[in-house]
Structure 1
Amino acid sequence: MFKNLDAEQARHSYTNQRMADMVGISRVSYENKKKNGKFTALEAKKMCKIFKVKFDYLFATDEDEAR
């Protein structure tokens, strides 16, 4: 759903388990949230800090780019 999140995760060689651990949720929850886009504000903020990027970049969707 979020191609930039996928790209940053791959660029840093972070597994889904590692990301889940850093965010403070289970791997299964992390993978489900990547699919459905339902990260909490705190989880999203943590990921922005991990990758040192802005929210709008990290969570951009194909829909956002069509506008």
Structure 2
Amino acid sequence: MSADLVCSAKGCRQAATWALLWNNPELHTPDRRKVWLACDTHRETLGDFLSVRGFLKDTVPSDEIPRDSR
């Protein structure tokens, strides 16, 4: 895990341990992956937000973010 990766949750400054890979099919090609970073506390809530919209594609440890998603 890189020390410069910070959780994407509003107001959170914790180190990110998870990467939520997502895309909005109305805006992105099917193979495109955007990344939200999450600490252990916010992994579920950020994932739920993306899942409800059908955007969440995968969740991986932050040190396994695919190169093409960075």
Band the TM-score falls in, shorter-chain normalisation:
under 0.3
* Greater share of residues in helix: 1
* Greater share of residues in strand: 2
TM-score between both structures, scaled by the size of structure 2: 0.27
Task: Give the number of the structure with larger relative contact order, counting CA–CA contacts within 8 Å between residues 6 or more apart.
Answer: 1
